[in-house]
Amino acid sequence: MDRPVLLIGFYNKKALGVRYLEQALTAAGYDTVLVFFKDFNSVKPQPATEKELDLLKELILKVNPGIIGLSVMASLYLETVYKVNDMITSNFKIPLVWGGVFPTLFPEKCLKYADYVIRGEGEQAICELVHAVYSNKAVNSILNLAYKKNDATYINDIRPLCENIDKYGYPEVGGNNKYFIHNNTIATGDPQLKSVSYELTASRGCPFVCSYCSSVNLKRVYKGKGNYVRFRSVNSVMAELKDAKARIKGLKVIHFWDEIFSDDPEWIDEFSSRYKKEIGLPFEIWGHPLKVNEELISKLVSAGLYKVVMGIQSGSPKVRKVIFHRLETQDEIIKAGEVLKKCKVPQVIYDFMLQHPFETDEDIKQTYELCLQLKLPYELQLHGLNFLPGTDIVDMAIDMNVLSREELDKIMYSSIQEQYNMYWGYKNDSPVSNFWYALIYMTQFRFARPISKFLAKRSDSGLMRKLAARVYKGLQLFSRLRYFIKKGKLVLRAVLRKR
Ligand code: SF4
């Protein structure tokens, strides 16, 4: 019997990538073991500890896999990926394969660490690779594969995109082949079983071309290989959700992780009527200002849509269009907000990237002015610009003399904690920019809007800038308290229900 295939996902116990590969390998007749290495923590992310690496080493000794796959979705986690990779190569002689967005864009770089790289969608390629490794066959004809041979690097062509993505099945919840290593302990079993939320995607690909996102780079990798944006059938989505609901006893909410949720009227019609009857749990989606449509959103709300997170990113038309390559106008954004309000979406969150090197004080002021025009109620998610290796905005920063290659490398490949520190909170020392940032934050609170307007009229005053900073800190504290009270109420309700 073949040795199992061990797949490791990082900082995500739901890790859809490795779960989809598990499906493909199981269907091809291979045993798999999945390791979810460390949990996601957006405030204090920790690199791998020695103890956690030891736990992984012991598990590998016990499982004795024939091949190990690392899912390297983001460069953010490279620090931990390198540590895990080092531990494996210094203790074992097991072929290593890397897959995910980072290896897809940088196969040569990754082949310094791994024996193989799978580029793009890896379901078929991993099965062919495992078959070749286990039967000692050549790998030179495996599409999507990159590999080394006699010190030379070979990057094979990409296979056409699978049109019918229902063929991939869907991730399995549960199973005794899963392990969760976190906080210096190892737990056997699928960590997802204890979750109150379930994440899935009903599609693959995104039609937009934002310069800071790797979706456009992946689209280029697949140029001429078929439709990049594809949707699963409603049947397939319902089957997955019914399975998840049956297995996860405490399931309370569904997160659709699609880059862009479907706006196909027929799909939405079928989905909305079936979801309400067959699943009946609140769900959230990512929205896009150009995809918000009153008829469709109202159907989704009646089916259970409770939260839309919509990326706006900047209130400056120049930053949006020229820097971020987002084509929606101020009016289209405002109108999308009005539709969400009219359809009574219970929770609307607008996402902005602020205080990056492309933004002027005038740009951030325009973001404040746009936020004032967006209809309450809404919440704001304010963060920095995360330069992802390989994305267009990296080259733009160099071409426009905004940052040097060395500075960008320092940012993109710094430690996980440093990258998060750059992402949250004030991101520059400009008192003017920090003033407008604070005012933007205030716009989401009805009672703080008049204060923000009062301060905006006195933007030149040092005293008003200090006052804005104080109000901002106070509101942040208020938000945190409100969040914990909400969470506490939910926990209390769950405990009372169990009794
Ligand atoms: S809309 Fe979202 S997923 Fe699509 S390219 Fe822009 S940032 Fe990426």
Summarize pLDDT for 136-152 with one digit per residue, the tens. 999 999 999 999 998 89
Give this prediction's pTM: 0.93
Based on the number of CB atoms within 10 Å of its own CB, is 457 exposed (0-12), middle (13-18) or buried (19 or more)? exposed
Ligand 1 atom showing the smallest separation from residue 216 Cα: 5
d(CA 115, CA 95) in angstroms, rounded, equals 6
pLDDT tens sequence across 361-419: 999 999 999 999 999 999 999 999 989 999 999 999 999 999 999 999 988 888 888 88
pLDDT tens sequence across 11-66: 999 999 999 999 999 999 999 999 999 998 777 778 899 999 999 999 999 999 99
Same fold, 5-168 and 195-428: no
- Report the separation in Å between the CA atom of 317 and the middle of ligand 1, taken as the mean of its atom positions: 17
Pocket test for ligand 1, best of 101, 259, 308 (most atoms within 8 A of CB): 259
Sign of torsion over alpha carbons 390, 394, 398, 400: positive
Confidence at residue 241, expressed as pLDDT on a 0 to 100 scale: 98
For the stretch 49-53, contacts whose Cβ atoms lie closer than 8 Å and that sit 24 or more positions apart, written own/partner, are: 49/184, 51/184, 52/181, 52/182, 52/184, 53/83, 53/84, 53/87
Percent of the chain with pLDDT over 70: 97
Sign of torsion over alpha carbons 45, 49, 52, 57: positive
Ligand 1 atom showing the smallest separation from residue 214 Cα: 8
d(CA 262, CA 85) in angstroms, rounded, equals 38
User: What are the backbone dihedrals phi and psi of residue 24, each rounded to the nearest 5 degrees, phi first?
Assistant: -65, -45
Ligand 1 atom showing the smallest separation from residue 259 Cα: 3
Identify the residue whose C-alpha is closest to ligand 1 atom 3. 259
Mean predicted confidence (pLDDT) in 317-333: 98
CATH number of 195-428: 3.20.20.70
H or E element in which residue 475 lies: helix 462-498
Count CB atoms within 10 A of the CB of residue 143.
Answer: 16
- Report the separation in Å between the CA atom of 125 and the middle of ligand 1, taken as the mean of its atom positions: 26
Identify the residue whose C-alpha is closest to ligand 1 atom 8. 213
User: What are the backbone dihedrals phi and psi of residue 256, each rounded to the nearest 5 degrees, phi first?
Assistant: -85, 120
pLDDT at 74 over 80: no
- Distances 15 to 8, 71, 201, 257, 391 between C-alpha atoms, Å: 9, 9, 12, 11, 22
d(CA 345, CA 124) in angstroms, rounded, equals 39
Confidence at residue 495, expressed as pLDDT on a 0 to 100 scale: 66
- Report the separation in Å between the CA atom of 210 and the middle of ligand 1, taken as the mean of its atom positions: 6
Q: How far is CA 331 from the centre of its chain?
A: 28
Least confident of 1-5, 219-223, 303-307: 1-5
pLDDT band per the 50, 70, 90 thresholds, residue 483 = confident
pLDDT tens sequence across 270-298: 999 999 999 999 999 999 999 999 999 99
Calculated CA dihedral for residues 364, 367, 368, 374, nearest 10 degrees: -170
- Residues 191 and 180: beta-carbon distance below 8 Å: yes
- Report the separation in Å between the CA atom of 206 and the middle of ligand 1, taken as the mean of its atom positions: 6
Give the start-to-end residue ranges of the domains of the chain.
5-168, 195-428
Total residues belonging to the chain:
499
- Report the separation in Å between the CA atom of 216 and the middle of ligand 1, taken as the mean of its atom positions: 8
Of 3.40.50.280, 3.40.50.970, 1.10.10.60, 1.20.140.10, the CATH number of 5-168 is 3.40.50.280
- Ligand 1 site: residues with CB under 6 angstroms? 206, 208, 210, 213, 215-216, 259, 288, 311
Mean predicted confidence (pLDDT) in 164-177: 95
Mean predicted confidence (pLDDT) in 343-350: 97
Confidence at residue 307, expressed as pLDDT on a 0 to 100 scale: 97
Ligand 1 atom showing the smallest separation from residue 212 Cα: 7
Identify the residue whose C-alpha is closest to ligand 1 atom 2. 259
pLDDT tens sequence across 188-203: 999 999 999 999 999 9
Ligand 1 atom showing the smallest separation from residue 207 Cα: 4
DSSP bridge pairs for 349: 309, 379
pLDDT band per the 50, 70, 90 thresholds, residue 2 = confident
Residue type, 17: G
Angle of helix 462-498 versus helix 431-442 axis, rounded to 10? 40
| Cα 22–Cα 28–Cα 33 angle in degrees, nearest 5 | 30
Q: Which residues have CB under 8 Å from 372's CB, separation 6+? A: 443, 449, 452, 453
- Report the separation in Å between the CA atom of 207 and the middle of ligand 1, taken as the mean of its atom positions: 8
- Report the separation in Å between the CA atom of 220 and the middle of ligand 1, taken as the mean of its atom positions: 14
Percent of the chain with pLDDT over 90: 88
User: What are the backbone dihedrals phi and psi of residue 106, each rounded to the nearest 5 degrees, phi first?
Assistant: -130, 60
Pocket test for ligand 1, best of 73, 208, 214 (most atoms within 8 A of CB): 208
pLDDT tens sequence across 216-260: 999 999 999 999 999 999 999 999 999 999 999 999 999 999 998
- Report the separation in Å between the CA atom of 215 and the middle of ligand 1, taken as the mean of its atom positions: 6
- Report the separation in Å between the CA atom of 130 and the middle of ligand 1, taken as the mean of its atom positions: 33
